[in-house]
Every structure is written in structure tokens, then in C-alpha cells.
Amino acid sequence: MKKYTLPDLPYKYDALEPYISKEIMTLHHDKHHLAYVNGANTALDKLDAGRKNNWQGVDIKGIERDLSFNLAGHVLHSVFWPNMKQGGGGKPGGKLADQINEDFGSFEAFKAQFSAAAKAVEGSGWGLLVWDPVNEQLLTLQAEKHNLLSGQNSVPLLVCDVWEHAYYLQYKNDRGSYVDAFWNVVNWENVDELLSNSK
């Protein structure tokens, strides 16, 4: 099977300072994201081996669980990096702004809902803005870990990593301040582009 690869950060490690430190970005991308890429590839290797052995003595349940966790981690981090940029923040424009107004009433209402969801994730996880192709609308979701609670069919557009590894070195246990700071680095052009692609 084809292997997953770690994408480069689309900016320098210190690009998001002072909101997200260089140290966090370096460890987060080079160590944590890489671990999910490697974990997904290890699961693929085990599935290859399982096929060759007709699944004799193979813990396929554990392998599929590992694949789900690590692949979801890889996907969400791959969305997360370009969701942010130096000099980001402000408000969305274009079709994204129209869709947010249609589905949430206003940008302020959306921002409050997304922030509340991200801050309230139990344990490690993510706050998500997704496109729901079933009803053709935007939704907020939480993900616990990387892969629990989310809609199977939803397309992540804007994601906020609220694992402690995303903020602890700078914000300690104050996840709320980190989520509030996140809005200063959001790359709305990227989110708008993902919405257009999803439709």
C-alpha cells in the first residue's frame, strides 16, 4: 500500500509568534505529526503482513484502531497547518462568510460556538468546523483524540488542535487563552478554498 508522508509546514516555525511559539510548532510538526504518519504506515505494514498470513493470529481490531487514530491525526494536522498563517485572523470573506452567516447567523455567533466547542473537548482532541455534504451546511464538531465523535462523512475546513502538546509549553493549562489566541492566526483564505473544494 502507498505510504503516508509528512507535509512541510507552509511557513517558518516562528511564523505564528507571539500566538504560538516556535518551540511548540517545531515539536508539534516534527515530532507529534511525524509520529502519526509513522503510526499510520506501521498499521499499513501490519495489514500487508496480515493478508499474507490469511489473518492467522493477527489482531486486526487493534490494527484498524491504530490506523484510524493515526490516520485521523495525520489528516487533521495536515488541515491544521495551512489553516494558520502569519498575519492571519480578522474575519472571513467571500463565499465562506456568506455560508457562515447562513448557517450560524453571524460570524460572531460562529466564533463563539467554535470556541466553546474547542474549549470543552474532554481530554485531548480538536474543535472542528466541517462541511456536512448530507445537508450541505456547516457544522461545528468536537473530536476526542483524533477520531472519536466526528461525523464519518464530514469534511474538516477549520480545525483547532486542543491536545496539550499544542499549547502547554506556552499556555500551561490555560486552554481557553490558547483557543482565544488561535483566532489571530486563522488563514481564512485557506478555509474558504477548502469550502469551495468540498462543494
Given the complex with Mn ion, which of 24 and 139 has the nearer CB atom?
24
Stretch that binds Mn ion, among 25-33, 111-119, 149-157, 183-191 (CB under 5 A): 25-33
Nearer to Mn ion, 114 or 163 (CB): 163
The HSE-up count of residue 45 (CA atoms within 13 Å, CB side) is 7
- The region of 31-39, 46-54, 106-114, 181-189 touching Mn ion under the rule CB under 5 A is 31-39
Report the C-alpha gap between 155 and 157 in whole angstroms.
6
Instruction: Give yes or no for residue 121 binding Mn ion (CB under 5 A).
Output: no
> Minimum distance between the CB of residue 134 and Mn ion, rounded to whole angstroms?
28
Over the window 140 to 179, marking each residue x when it contacts Mn ion by CB under 5 A and - when it does not, the resulting string is: ---------------------x-x----------------
Q: Determine the size of the site formed for Mn ion (CB under 5 A).
A: 3
CB of 165 to Mn ion, least distance (A): 5
| Shortest Å, Cβ 38 to Mn ion | 14
Would you tell me how many other CB atoms lie within 10 Å of the CB of residue 168? 14
Phi, psi values for residue 45, rounded to 5° = -60, -40
CB of 60 vs Mn ion, minimal distance in Å: 27
Does residue 133 have a cis bond before it (omega within 30 degrees)? no
Q: Are 25 and 9 in contact (CB under 8 A)?
A: yes
**Shortest gap between Cβ of 36 and Mn ion (angstroms)?**
8
DSSP string for residues in 117-184:
HHHT-SSSEEEEEEEETTTTEEEEEEEETTTBSS-TT-EEEEEEE-SGGGTHHHHTT-HHHHHHHHTT
Nearer to Mn ion, 32 or 145 (CB): 32
Please give the DSSP secondary-structure letter assigned to residue 199: -
Nearer to Mn ion (CB atom), residue 29 or residue 85: 29
In angstroms, the CA 186 to CA 16 distance is: 10
The contact set with Mn ion (CB under 5 A) reads 32, 161, 163
